[in-house]
Amino acid sequence: MNISEEIARRASLIDAGIDRLLPPASARPQRLHAAMRYAVQGGGKRLRPMLVIAAAELFGRRRPGQPAPVLDPMPAAVAIECVHTYSLVHDDLPCMDNDDLRRGRPTVHKAFDEATALLAGDALLTLAFELIGRGYPPDPGHALALELADAAGSRRLIGGQVEDLLAERKAGVTPEELAFIHLNKTAAMIEASLVIGGLIGVGTAAQSQSGKDIEVLRRAGRNLGLAFQIVDDVLDATSDTATLGKTAGKDAKAGKTTSVSLHGIEASRKSALDLSEMAADEFRKLPGAAPFLVALAGTLSQRIK
C-alpha cells in the first residue's frame, strides 16, 4: 500500500462527505453557514474521520457475504470532524489562544468576526449530534452519542482545555498535570474516533469478541492521541508557520509547559515513536491486522523524524 496515496484518497472521500452533510452556505443565516463551511472545509488532515471509517471497515469486512461496513460510517466521521473543528475555532478565539492563522488561512474570527466564530463553533458542535441522530438507528446510535458526548464533554475535551488554560497561567506544571491535559484535550477525540468507528462496524449484530475489540481500539486511540500531541509539541518547536499552516513557535514564546519543555526534543521524539508503535501493536490485534491503521500510526511519528 502506498500510504500517502491512500491517505489522500480517503481524505477526498471525507471532503465529499463533509460537503454533502453540512448545511449549504446558502441556508439562512448565510453568514453563519458560510462560517461553518469556511471552518470545516479549509483543509485539515482529516485524521479523526479517517480513524472512524478505518475502524468501521475492520468489522464490516468480517461479516461473510456483506459489503463493508453494514452501517455507513460517514455521518459519524463528519460529526467527529465537526466537533474537532469547533474546538479549533473556539481555541483560536482572542479569549483563548488568540491566533490569526489556522489550516493556512485566517482563523474564523479574523475572516468573519468573533461572535460569528463563537456561534459557528456552537453550531458545529450541535450539528455533530444531529448527524449521529439522523444517521443511525437507536442501536448503535445511542452508544455513539454517549461516546461523543463523553469525549467532547467537561471531563475530557473541554476539561483538558480548561486545565490547559489554567496551566498557562502558572509556573511548575507537573508531568501529571500535563498528562491529564494531553489525555483529555487531545487523546479523547482520537480515542472516540476509533471507538465510534468500531461500534458502527460491529453494528447491531454484536459478537462476543466485539467488546474486547472495542477496548483494543480505545487503548490504541489513547496511545495514538498521546503520540499525536507530542508530535504537535515537537513540530511547534522545530517547524515553521508556512509548513504547519498555523503559528509555529507559540509554545516557547508563551512559556508554555509542553512535552518539549519538560523532556526536551529528543526524549519527546522517542516517546512519540514508542507511543505510536504501541498503538500499531494494538491495531495488529484487530481483524485482518488492520494494515491501514498500522501504516497510519507509522506516518504520525514520521512527521518529526
Grid coordinates given for 172: 511548575
Which residues, in sequence order, are CB contacts of 81 under 8 Å at separation 6+? 14, 18, 40, 44, 46, 48, 49
* Shorter beta-carbon distance to ligand GRG: residue 45 or 270: 45
- Shortest spacing between CB 261 and ligand GRG, in angstroms: 14
Q: Point out which span in 69-77, 85-93, 192-200, 268-276 binds ligand GRG (CB under 6 A).
A: 85-93
**Size of the residue set binding ligand GRG (CB under 6 A):** 15
Q: In this chain, which of 227, 232, 258, 272 binds ligand GRG, going by CB under 6 A?
A: 232
Q: Point out which span in 19-27, 41-49, 143-151, 206-214 binds ligand GRG (CB under 6 A).
A: 41-49
Contact 223, 279 (CB under 8 A): yes
- Shortest spacing between CB 257 and ligand GRG, in angstroms: 13
Q: Is 44 in the site for ligand GRG (CB under 6 A)?
A: yes
Residue reference for cell 491503521: 293
Binders of ligand GRG among 236-295, rule CB under 6 A? Answer: none
Which residues, in sequence order, are CB contacts of 18 under 8 Å at separation 6+? 40, 41, 78, 81
In the shown chain, the binding pattern of residues 202 to 231 toward ligand GRG, with x for contact by CB under 6 A and - for none, equals ---------------------------x--
- Shortest spacing between CB 200 and ligand GRG, in angstroms: 21
Residue type at 172?
A: G
Q: In this chain, which of 40, 88, 237, 293 binds ligand GRG, going by CB under 6 A?
A: 88
Cis peptide bond N-terminal to 138, omega within 30: no
- Shortest spacing between CB 240 and ligand GRG, in angstroms: 15
d(CA 283, CA 297): 9
Contact 175, 105 (CB under 8 A): no
Q: Point out which span in 1-9, 39-47, 172-180, 261-269 binds ligand GRG (CB under 6 A).
A: 39-47
Binders of ligand GRG among 131-190, rule CB under 6 A? Answer: 157-158, 161, 185-186
d(CA 143, CA 158): 20
- Shortest spacing between CB 254 and ligand GRG, in angstroms: 12
Grid coordinates given for 64: 461473510
Residue reference for cell 491486522: 289
Q: In this chain, which of 103, 109, 222, 269 binds ligand GRG, going by CB under 6 A?
A: 103
d(CA 285, CA 290): 8
Helical spans, DSSP H, in 72-155: 74-91, 108-111, 114-135, 138-152
Residues at the interface with ligand GRG (CB under 6 A)? 44-45, 47, 87-88, 90-91, 103, 157-158, 161, 185-186, 229, 232
